[in-house]
Each structure stands twice: as C-alpha cells, then as structure tokens.
Amino acid sequence: MFVLLIVISLLLLLIYNYLVYPYNHWKNLNVPGPKVEGWHGHIPSIWHNKQNYIYEFAQIYENYRLKYNFVGIFVLRQPQLLIINPKVVKTVLVSKFKFFRDNYFSEPVTKQTDKLLGRNPFILKGDEWKEKRGELVSGFSVFKIKTQYPIIEDSCKKLVNYINDQSKPIEVKDLCARYTCNIVASCIFGMNAEAFSEKNPIILDRARNIMSNQIWSHLAIISLFPFINKFYKGTYVDKTSEDFFIKLMRDATIHRKSSVENRLDYLDFLLDVQQRKGGSLLDIAANGLTFFLDGFDTSSIFMFNVLYELSKNQEVQLRLREEIEHYVLLHNGNLSYDFIEEMSYLDMVINETLRLHPSIPVIAKICTEDTNFELYENQNVIIKKGTIVNIPIYCLHTDEKYYSNPYNFDPERFSPESGGAREFKEKCIFLPFSDGPRICLGMRFALAQGKGLAKKLLQCKHPSSRKTLNLIKKTKKIKNRQLKKFGNAAKMNVQGKQLFWFYEQIEDIEGPLTPDMYKELIQAYLARFDEELEQINIKHTLNKKRSNQHASRESVIKITLEKEVSDFNGGGLELPNLCDPVEFKHFQDWDGDASKIQHLKLHFVSKKWLESLNKEDKMIE
C-alpha cells in the first residue's frame, strides 16, 4: 500500500511538473508577460471555444502596448511571443523573414498524413514553399484576374437572380458562400457548381466540412501535448472530402485536355504548370483545393463583412451607390475590371472593412533560426529556434495610437487625399493580407470578387432587412459600451466635422464674434451644400430623369440640413460661445484633434439666443 502511494505521488508530481514547469519559460528569460492563471494559459478560448480568441490577445495587447515591443504568453502550455510594436512586426515579416519563413500550421500537417492539405503552399516549409510559390505566383497576376473577371460578373448576375427569386430575407453569410463557391468552382474545376440552384450544393457542403472545427480541435490538443504529433498519424481533412476533390480535379483535367476550349482560367494555368514543371494529379488537386478554400472561405467572410458594414452605415452605402451610378453612366453600363479598379470610394470601403474585420486576425510564425529582438531600448532578447511568434493584426488595426476612433467605420481614413492604404501598409499597421515574401497570393482575386459583388448589389439592391436592423440595434448597444470605455469616439467623429468647419472659419480672425457675425457664420454653415446641390440638379437635368434608387446623396443632404435648420431655429446647435473672448480664444487654440473635443466648452447656440445677445449688446451701448 505504501509503495502504491509513493508511485501515485510520483505520478502526480510528474503530471504537475509537465503541466506547470513550462510556465517559467519567459520568466527565466526575463521576458515580461501576464501571469498564468491556469493550465489553459492565456488563450483559454482555444480550448473551450466560448469566445473568439482574438479578444484574449487584444486584452494582453492593450495592457502592454505602451510598455514593451513584445511579451511572453502561453497558449495552453506552449510558450509563445505576442508582438506589439509594428517595427518588430516588420522585422518578422520582411527584414528578418528568413528566420520566420514557416507558418505555425506547418508543424502538425504533413504530406504523408494529408495528401492535399500537406501540399498546400500555406502549409509547406522552407525551400519547398519557396519553389511552390514561384510556380504559382503568375497565376494570380493582374492579367489572370482580368481574364477571369467575366466569370465573376456572370456569378454576380446569378446571385441577383437568386435574390429576386426569394420571398423571405436572405442569410447573407450563406449568400456570400454560394457566390464565392460558384466563382472558384468555375475557375478551378471548369464546372457549374449549381450554387444558386440547389439547396445544398455538394461542393459547398464538402468545402464547409473541410473548414469545420475538426482541424482546430486537433491543433489545440497538439499545442497542449506536443509529443502527440510524433505519434499521431491521423488526417486533418476527412478521407471522403479528400477523395471528392481529387476526383473532381481528375475529371476536370481529363475534360479540359480533351476539349478545344481555351478559357485562360486557373485550371488552364495549373495544367500549363504541370506540362512545364511536371507534377502529379495530387499536386494539381492540392493547388486547386488551396485556391478553392482561399477563394471560398476567407473571401466569403470578407464579402459578408462588407455588406454588413454597408447595411449598418447608410450614408456610406448611399455615397458608394452614387459612385457606382456615376461609373455606370460614364461607361454606358460596361464596368470592366479596369473601371472597377478606378473606383476610389469603393476601394476605401473595402480597405476599412478589412481593417475592422481582417480575415486572419492573428498570424502565427515559427522561428527557424536563433535570432534576437529588442524588448525595449538597449535590451535585446534571444529568440530560440522553434519559438512561435504571434502578430495580432486585429489589435494593430484597432489601436487608437494609429487610427483615431478605431472602432468607427470610417472609409475616409483611406482616402486618396490622405495617402490611401499605402502609408499604413508601409508602417505595418494595416496587414489584411499579411506582408513580406509570404503575403497572400490570392489577395487580388479576393478583392476583385468583393468589388464585383458590392458593385452589382448596390446597382439594384439595398442590403437591409428586419434581421439586419435588429442586429444593428444590438451592435449599437455594444458600441455604446465601447464609447463609455474609449471616450465618446463616435460622437466626436460626427460632431468633430461640424466643429472643425467653424474652427477653420475663425482661425485667422482676431477677437470674438459679434452676435450678428456669429449668426452670419452659422447661415454660411447651413449653406455649405449649395454648390453640391446645384451640381446634382445639373446632373438630373442632363439625364432628364432622377435616380429610382431608394435614396440618394441629395436626400441625405436635405435631411441633414432640415435637422440643422430646425435645431438652429429651435433648441440650438451644439457649439462654443464665439461671442465670449475667453471661449473664442480657447476654441481658436484647439488643434482640430477629435479626442480633445471633450475639453471644449459647448452651448446650444440658437437663433433666439443670438438675438437676445444682440439686444443685450445694444442696451449696453
């Protein structure tokens, strides 16, 4: 009995040491980080899946973002790094890429266990990845996208017909999945996926099965018990789905080789690569499946988020519709890929969607050679080979240090006048498709699908429904909680534009305004849209008919002006008292920073109030 107790005690001690010992890893290396509260480490959602793991990364990021360039964390019992400083992000993805060229998911997946997933360029490691990328990169060129754009347009038409045939509100996530499935199935397998005619298209069902939680559950277990990977010989993609896509590619290649048709699509490209470089059916099927999953899953989520944000932000939707109408008229309804690329506001909306909803919120890389990072000034830390390094894209995209009012959907931050997305990308604070040599190959194709869908839908539909409106109400409640936390950011965004207009008008004026001068200034503010309305009327006159869309820029302006005029004639506009010398000087010293609006003294300035001030001045005289 005594011996049994000793054996049990030793066994428990070994288990305890196995589970707890790794949690001293970063402490021993003098790398700061949050305290570990349990065996699940700092990202317990990977195990229990109760919330999106990005929020746990975000909490750690927020706590340390002003202190260190990176911190040590634990994903279950595995020590990993969380990068905070975008300069270190650039080091990982670009300048020291050779030390971090492998992706985390490369480790547990092999060609032996997974015939298709193991040949995925995202999974491949080292020189094998480099060689495979070199073969495929030309398949995603601008020229290739242009040649396949008619397939995107055809799917857009089928999608609109599908919507017209429905009598009930449509689940947009399913709609986007059908749309992308239809496109990529045609480009890769040369087939009609019947995505808009069948209730559950088999190819869509198989794709969803592959992207199920099964893969992520396997990876979570291996993160907790890494030694399992040495013995686990199972697959991450079920054999039925694997065989389905191999057969699909076999049939497609046989049909295409026997056909005189030259579609210049992705299947033609893969067959050309096979002819030049050699390769088995499995290689072609793996490349096809890679393109299919990228084009289907991540692209459909991205498009869902575009439509979601447009339904929430009606003014943005109306302005985008105007731009689309303008280009439709300009090019006689023929909007090719080149014309779509010219649409600057569409580009702004897409970029802002990708900022708030990155397809991959965290990129995980593996250190392949020992190197070092600067923890803070003059303090370097050696990063050992095999260390997993996390880049929290979502956290960088929503950091108020880089984006004012980061949780507001504001496409203007990517306007051409502000430099577009280039400056943000160069600073590594806008990474919707990652960066460096392993930047996403299919990004152009994904953007083409998204822009094509937005263009077609806004031409003839108004993405909204009762379910959407209810969702918007829920979102507003969440947003209100965020506003209390982050300081009334949304109000600043709207009110800031109004205050900044007045700030620009008085910037060079000496002394306070008289009530009459202030009244004239407000009248000028209320007339700020006159020139734009005149241009709209000219456009209507030339076209000889008004747009039959649900709303237009003209109606938005009129609604805005009606409210502002009503406020000025009634309770007042929320503005500083520019007739008071102290408040005038304080407002003139404001630098236009929206975050400082809360320090301005504001009043409800009405017509009646200004008239009463005028009477007081005359009585004093």
Which residue pairs from 23-30 have beta carbons closer than 8 angstroms and sit at least 24 positions apart in sequence? 23/74, 23/77, 25/72, 25/74, 25/79, 26/72, 26/73, 26/79, 29/72, 29/381, 29/382, 30/381
Task: Check: CB of residue 71 under 8 Å from CB of residue 82.
Answer: yes
Q: CA-CA distance, 387 to 603, in Å (whole number)?
A: 57
The string of DSSP codes covering 127-164 is HHHHHHHHHHGGGGSHHHHHHHHHHHHHHHHHHHHHHH
Tell whether 176 is in a known binding site: no
Of 159, 163, 65, the C-alpha closest to 400 is: 65
The string of DSSP codes covering 455-517 is HHHHHH-----HHHHHHHHHHHHHHHHHHHHHTSHHHHHHHHHHHHHHHHHHTT--SPPPHHH
Q: CA-CA distance, 420 to 58, in Å (whole number)?
A: 26
Task: Check: CB of residue 328 under 8 Å from CB of residue 335.
Answer: yes
What does R_g of the chain's alpha carbons equal in angstroms? 29
Task: Check: CB of residue 69 under 8 Å from CB of residue 83.
Answer: yes
Q: CA-CA distance, 34 to 550, in Å (whole number)?
A: 52
Count CA within 13 A, CB hemisphere, residue 562: 6
How many residues would you count in the chain?
Answer: 621
The pairing of strands 78-83 and 70-75 is: antiparallel
Three-state DSSP class for residue 381: strand
Task: Check: CB of residue 367 under 8 Å from CB of residue 391.
Answer: no
- Residue stretches of the annotated binding site: 440
Q: Which residues are annotated as a binding site for heme?
A: 440
